[in-house]
Amino acid sequence: MTPKKEWLNILKEAEQSPLSQKEFCKLHGIEYLAFRHRRNLFLREKKANQLLPEVRRFIPIEIETPKTLSEPKSSKMIEIQLPYGIILRIPAHESA
């Protein structure tokens, strides 16, 4: 079992226990500050995972393309700045 899974089991057991967190840690030989640190990490991770569907949702966009190939292409670009310095550039076509 990975340390993460072990901690998850410990945290679940502590949550179901009638003991206080300090009493639970003392009874199981767990350092209280380490227990609190792990608990806070898991709570933050759980909250972040709940937000992911909102954050990672794609928004559809429609871009009109030239009606014929003989029309000159525009040099204009749609630029989308993403996290971590990623820039997405898409050619934009002017409609008549």
Give the residue extent of every domain in the chain.
Answer: 3-55
pTM (predicted TM-score): 0.51
What pLDDT shows up at residue 25? 95
Three-state SS string over the chain comes to: CCHHHHHHHHHHHHHHCCCCHHHHHHHHCCCHHHHHHHHHHHHHHHHHHHHHHHHCCCCCCCCCCCCCCCCCCCCCEEEEECHHHCEEEEECCCCC
- pLDDT tens string, the chain, 96 residues long: the values are 668 889 999 999 999 999 999 999 999 999 999 999 999 999 888 887 776 665 556 667 776 666 655 555 556 788 888 887 888 888 876 554
